[in-house]
Amino acid sequence: MRFGNRVNYWIVEGDHFDVSRGSATTTSIELDENKTLKFDPERSAFIIIDMQNYFCSPLLGRPDGALKLVPAITSAVKSCRELGMQIIWVNWGHRLDTANLPPSLLYSWQKNGRPGIGQPLPDNLGSVLIKDSWSAALVEELEDSYAESDYWVDKYRVSGFPGSSLDAILRANGINTLFHAGVNTDQCVMATLQDANFLGYDNILVTDCAATTSPAHVLEGALYNMKSKAFSTDSVSLKAAAMSYV
């Protein structure tokens, strides 16, 4: 069955989904629940969200769940490069004066007594999530996975889209299929994925490349809500797709 219009469409046959839109450069990937997805890697991107010191570093007492993602994300980045996909790192990176942030956001960051956006962190670690600061930097463990050909997108909300260059970059590169990873699954990853869905992109959550510090029931609810808006796969399936891609 075909869903869409003459140029922007999916073809769905049982548990097989073809989102390549008639492209000549395609590959297939195994999805969860024994489904498969045919897509065009050259019109796809791997988006890694908030793998920054502020959210991941033990210097700030963060749990090790985020850093445990590093091997899977490293593998997924390698596989996506081999497939010819674009790599996009989406991270908080604010102005020091926080002039583009609304009161609601500034309040929400400070209401639990933690330093707010732009305020100093303890132990001379700089300001919270200001562009080019230590807290906004990519974790050291992923530095070798970053390449100059990648895009680095500063974001200013829980979602990576509002006020950022993300949508413009995707459209300028003809990208319509997005693979999502990073932290936190139920917050910035989910919000970015949902906005991508609202904007008309195809979405795949790479489950072993995403984590959260939230309680299990919160994650369960987030995954339930994302299920209607995204497919899901893992880094192992991406590796298999890369190995079979010609």
Domain harbouring 160, CATH code: 3.40.50.850
Please indicate, yes or no, if residue 185 is contained in any of the structural domains: yes
Shared domain for 76 and 105, answered yes or no, is: no
Shared domain for 105 and 227, answered yes or no, is: no
Shared domain for 104 and 180, answered yes or no, is: no
Q: Average pLDDT of 143-150?
A: 98
Shared domain for 89 and 184, answered yes or no, is: yes
Backbone phi, then psi, for 49, in 5-degree steps? Answer: -110, 125
Range of the domain at 182: 41-93+136-232
Mind spelling out the 3-state secondary structure of 26-75? CEEEECHHHCEEEECHHHEEEEEECCEHHHHCHHHCCCCCCHHHHHHHHH
pLDDT over 90 (residue 114)? no
d(CA 17, CA 246): 20
Q: How many CB atoms lie within 10 A of CB 7?
A: 7
pLDDT over 90 (residue 110)? no
Helix (H) or strand (E) holding 218: helix 216-227
What residues contact residue 192 under an 8 Å CB cut-off, 6+ apart? 47, 49, 90, 159, 160, 161, 180
Please indicate, yes or no, if residue 28 is contained in any of the structural domains: no
Residue type, 94: H
Please indicate, yes or no, if residue 111 is contained in any of the structural domains: yes
Quote the pLDDT of residue 39. Answer: 98
Backbone phi, then psi, for 37, in 5-degree steps? Answer: -130, 125
Shared domain for 68 and 151, answered yes or no, is: yes
Q: Domain end: 80, 109, 127, which one?
A: 127
At 184-237, the pLDDT tens digits run 999 999 999 999 999 999 999 999 999 999 999 999 999 999 999 999 999 999
For the chain, the domain total comes to 2
d(CA 52, CA 128): 11
